[in-house]
């Protein structure tokens, strides 16, 4: 493993993006021992923020306790009669409680073309929304992507600054045809020579995908999604800036200062003698009729030596 995996191991459950494990189960109840073996043998999978499992084949007759994992919140959406299929399907997300303990399902859908489920997670900073998708092989691609587009748009309108992750089996469909601003992070084949499983997010260069062995007798490779995104606070070094501000009573002092200035000096025939930088500074700061002390205003370091072109209208102006 390279330095990215070492850094992820040190960060554990506070990465900039959640680490993901994506796999096909083909009946999760029969793959629980294989899943537990994968978690025990691979520390990176064991510490993943979210485990995403497709083709769970769960139903109402299977209790949640039979597929529960210690220390993880279980969210699943089973295939319904709307899919017009009797077997297969089903989606599941295991959310690590050390990363987020307030996850919930916000959207789900099942039809003959697509199954998806969206889970909302807010671990410690910006909200994350993970959507798991299965698009059936004989689905109407435009209908399936249109349904998914509507859901993602609603989530983005509700949380425009959040991180949105869409992962699942797209079966040769491309989400970038309807969401071109999203980035696809899986480059390796997942079934034979084809990359059927995709992971999209609205973060450019957010993940790096690593193939892992099949889960039991599954026909899809498993994927480990390692966060490759570097936060802005780590990409740029902090800078120190000095900002000059006016004192709190500067406005009232400036108003009083200009009201007590002897503006009649600018009616002199030889105006040039009063418009050089030193003389103008003396007039504005020293020739006050009341002779008050205006120590709250800082003196300018330099003034332009160009002749001052004050007009009678500017002379008559007062600060309200």
CA 280/CA 298 separation, integer angstroms: 15
How far is CA 6 from each of CA 19, 163, 180, 246, rounded to the nearest angstrom?
A: 13, 24, 32, 49
pLDDT value at position 288? 45
Which of these, 181, 131, 121, lies nearest to 152 by C-alpha position? 131
Summarize pLDDT for 77-126 with one digit per residue, the tens: 998 888 888 778 899 999 999 999 889 999 999 999 999 999 999 887 67
CA 176/CA 159 separation, integer angstroms: 20
pLDDT value at position 294? 45
Task: Find which of 5-14, 125-134, 195-204 is predicted with most confidence, using mean pLDDT.
Answer: 195-204
Q: Where do the CATH 3.60.10.10 domains begin and end in the chain?
A: 3-235
pLDDT value at position 221? 94
Q: Are 219 and 24 a contacting pair, CB within 8 Å?
A: yes
Q: Are 94 and 51 a contacting pair, CB within 8 Å?
A: yes
CA atoms within 13 A on the CB side of 174: 8
String of b and e for 102-140 (b: at least 16 CB within 10 Å)?
A: ebeeebbbbbebbbbbbbbbbbeeebbbbbbbbbbeebe
| pLDDT greater at residue 268 or residue 55 | 55
Q: Using CB atoms within 10 A of its CB, is residue 177 exposed (0-12), middle (13-18) or buried (19+)?
A: exposed
Mean pLDDT, residues 261-270: 70
pLDDT value at position 9? 56
Averaged confidence pLDDT in the chain: 81
Summarize pLDDT for 222-241 with one digit per residue, the tens: 999 999 887 776 777 778 88
- pLDDT band for 317, please (50, 70, 90 cuts): very low
Is the full-model pTM beyond 0.75?
Answer: no
Question: In this structure, which CATH number among 3.60.10.10, 1.10.1200.10, 3.40.50.620, 1.10.3720.10 belongs to the domain 3-235?
Answer: 3.60.10.10
Summarize pLDDT for 138-176 with one digit per residue, the tens: 899 999 999 999 999 999 999 988 899 999 999 989 999
């Amino acid at each position: 493993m390279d330095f990215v995996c070492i850094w992820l191991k040190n960060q554990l459950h506070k990465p900039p993006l959640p680490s993901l494990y994506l796999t096909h189960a083909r009946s999760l109840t029969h793959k629980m021992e294989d899943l537990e073996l994968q978690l025990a043998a691979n520390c990176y999978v064991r510490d993943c923020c979210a485990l995403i499992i497709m083709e769970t084949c769960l139903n109402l007759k299977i209790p949640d306790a039979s597929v529960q994992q210690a220390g993880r919140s279980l969210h699943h959406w089973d295939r319904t009669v709307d899919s017009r299929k009797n077997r297969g399907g089903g989606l599941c997300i295991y959310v690590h409680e050390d990363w987020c303990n307030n996850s919930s399902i916000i959207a789900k859908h099942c039809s003959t073309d697509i199954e998806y489920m969206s889970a909302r997670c807010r671990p410690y900073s910006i909200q994350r929304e993970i959507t798991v998708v299965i698009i059936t092989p004989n689905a109407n691609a435009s209908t399936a992507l249109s349904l998914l587009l509507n859901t993602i748009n609603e989530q983005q309108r509700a949380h425009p600054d959040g991180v949105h992750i869409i992962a699942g089996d797209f079966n040769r469909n491309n989400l970038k045809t309807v969401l071109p601003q999203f980035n696809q992070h899986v480059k390796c084949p997942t079934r034979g020579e084809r990359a059927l499983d995709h992971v999209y997010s609205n973060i450019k260069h957010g993940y790096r995908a690593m193939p892992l062995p099949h889960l039991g007798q599954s026909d899809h490779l498993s994927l480990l999604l390692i966060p490759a995104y570097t936060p802005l606070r780590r990409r740029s070094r902090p800078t120190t800036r000095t900002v000059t501000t006016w004192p709190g009573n500067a406005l009232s002092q400036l108003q009083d200062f200009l009201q007590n200035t002897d503006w009649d000096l600018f009616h002199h025939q030889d105006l040039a003698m009063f418009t050089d930088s030193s003389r103008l500074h003396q007039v504005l700061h020293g020739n006050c009729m009341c002779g008050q002390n205006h120590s709250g205003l800082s003196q300018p370091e330099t003034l332009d030596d160009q002749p001052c072109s004050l007009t009678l209208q500017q002379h008559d102006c007062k600060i309200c």
